[in-house]
Structure 1
Amino acid sequence: MTLYGIDISNNNGSDIDLAQVKAEGFDFVFCKVSEGDYFVDSTWPAYRDAARAAGLALAGYHYVRGDCDPDSQADVFVRHLDGAAAMLDFEANSGGMDVFWAVVRAINARGVQVALSYIPRWYWQQIGSPDLSQAPGLIQSSYVTTPSAPASAMYPGDDSAFWNGFGGKAVDILQFTDGAMVAGHSVDANAFRGTRADLDTLLAVPRSPNPATPGADMALDDNEQRELLDSIRYIRGQLSPWPQLGHNEQGQPLTLVDAVAQLRKDLGK
């Protein structure tokens, strides 16, 4: 089976009705989050929330810039991603594969695994046709020449040569037009050959134990990890040996647990 999705950013405006996108038969949406170390897309928060409310599979993407520090780019992207699947947009002005991998490593080091890589064939050739075999899920773009129409009418098919891999990597998702009419807007449209469960696996989307709260068991963000670490340190401190609680037969201070156990023993007597 083939699933369809759209790719949007501030360039498409802020008024795309994602509930209508879902109603028209689409299953996923990729939305721009940030670019370089200086730009955050103003449409991201609203589109992110609307995609989740509509039940669309969601990925937020970062446009890699070769003239910006990888760590600074990762900081901006991860700070605003909010638990969505992570995607990199790697094309004009993004630099070489050394920049790509530096940004991937910087994002991964912040507890977010990059799931998708938009690397068009033309840019791959422009930077010397490097090895892509280890790149996260590859999105390739080759556009049909059909005038603006519904995406399903423009899709070239599962056996199209547009799906041919390159750089030692199979194509996971095909962007086949930049002019599909969706919810009254002309947008980029993508195809995925597989089921929604297959797509969720590609995006590394955890299954939520509560359908009303999709993504509830996703990885902790940086602030949540810090809070958890602080809590653990606090609890450990409360359980550590304390001289005020007394000493064991070896003269060592009792922990809180040991002191409570001793108290229970004394009360029992």
Structure 2
Amino acid sequence: MTIFGIDISNNNGSDIDLAEVVREGFSFVFAKVSEGVDFVDATWPGYRDTAHANGLVVAGYHYLRGDCDPDAQAELFVDRLGDAAAMIDFEANSGGMNIFWAFVNAVNKRGRRIDLSYIPRWYWLQIGSPDLSQVPGLIQSSYVGGTGCAADLYPGDISPNWNGFGGKAVDLLQFTDAALVAGHTVDANAFRGSVDDLRHLLGMTPPTTQGDLMALNDSQQADLYQKVQDIWGQLLGPDGQGWPQLGLNPEGKNLTLVDAVAKLGSEVRTELPKAAS
């Protein structure tokens, strides 16, 4: 399944009715908290608290500035964030990845965890296409044309707009800046998963009750399967038939790695008394 959310700030005003946002089918809201070392978004506390009251998943973001001390920016952000997931807005004038990671580390040092990273592909290209494989929760922006209902504008779960970059898969897609929501024109995001899956991505809940594997995406499950197969093969040999180079058991079958280690241990124990005498 795919769920939708909105991205808002003081630029959208302070009067967006989040109860209406929920009635229109949205599940989450990301809102601006701060920017640089001295700007605090006055709409944040109200939107944060109202989002919680209406059952929305909520994250607050800091617009990272490359011309300001990352540590001072982290201090401002953490001081104003409150009870919400933490997100970085990393785009025009945010500097390079050294600034990004300095801010992340400064936030971590203060006992909070960055959960989401808004990094549009155009900015990634602008700063030299750095490695993004370790960034938390990548949000990519690629806008469709037109305006209207977010679900109607959404380009679909298999749209190339979802393609990853910098060695990182895209976790959320901001696909329009012109969705009509609760009488306002706002940015809209899509998440390919359930509300519980999103909460898990943001560190708000343990894995889904349907089983730990359900908390992994398709590529992670495929990677886990391959690693299990590799371990199985190393222990039991090709096709589970043991390793010919390890010798044979009393039934004339190839020894597995475990059988060979056990046999070697038995032989060592047998030889120990002889060595002692």
The equivalent residue for 1:219 is none
Task: Give the aligned partner of residue 110 of structure 2.
Answer: 110
How many Å apart are 1:83 and its aligned residue? 2.2
Unaligned runs of 5+ in 1: 208-269
SS in structure 2 opposite 1:16? coil
Structure with greater helix share of residues? 2
After TM superposition, the structure 1 = structure 2 runs for residues 198-209 of structure 1, keeping only pairs within 5 Å, are: 198-206=197-205
- Partner letter of residue 2 of structure 1? T
| Partner residue, 2:66 | 66
Distance in 2 between residues matched to 1:157 and 1:176, nearest whole Å: 10
Which amino acid letter does the alignment assign opposite residue 112 of structure 1?
Answer: R
Indicate the residue corresponding to 1:176 in structure 2: 175
Aligned AA (1:98): N
How is 1:146-185 mapped onto 2 (pairs within 5 angstroms)? 147-185=146-184
Distance 2:19 2:115 in 1: 24
Structure 2: how far apart are the matches of 1:17 and 1:54?
10
**Which secondary structure does the structure 2 equivalent of 1:170 belong to?**
coil
- Aligned-partner SS, 1:156: coil
Matching residue's letter, 1:162: N
Identity of paired residues, percent?
70
List, as ranges, runs of 4+ consecutive aligned residues in structure 1 with deviation greater than 2 Å: none
Whose Rg is larger? 2
Deviation string 1:200-242 (CA, Å, 9 cap, x unpaired) is 01111147xxxxxxxxxxxxxxxxxxxxxxxxxxxxxxxxxxx
Show CA shifts across 1:126-158 (max 9, x none). 00000000000000000001x210000000000
Counterpart in 2 of 1:97? 97
1:132 is matched with which residue?
Answer: 132
| Structure 2: distance between partners of 1:137 and 1:177 | 19
TM-score (norm 2): 0.74
Instruction: State how far apart, in whole Å, the 2-side matches of 1:206 and 1:47 are.
Output: 22
Specify the alignment match of 1:236 in structure 2: none
Residue of structure 2 in register with 1:253 after alignment: none
Structure 2: runs of 5+ lacking an equivalent = 207-277
Q: C-alpha offsets along residues 74-105 of structure 1, whole Å, 9 cap, x if unaligned?
A: 00000010021000000000000000000000
More RCO (CA 8 Å, sep 6+): 1
Question: Which SS does the other structure have where 1:34 is aligned?
Answer: strand
One-letter amino acid of the counterpart of residue 203, structure 2: A
CA distance in 1, matches of 2:98, 2:7: 26
Which AA in structure 1 matches 2:151?
Answer: S
- How many residues were matched structurally? 206
SS in structure 1 at match of 2:87 = strand
Query: Is the contact between residue 196 and residue 205 of structure 2 (CA under 8 Å) also seen in structure 1?
Result: no
Q: Is the 8 A contact 2:142 2:174 kept in 1?
A: yes
> 2: distance between equivalents of 1:43 and 1:122?
28
Looking at structure 1, the residues matched to 64 and 201 of structure 2 have their Cα atoms a distance apart, in angstroms, of 21
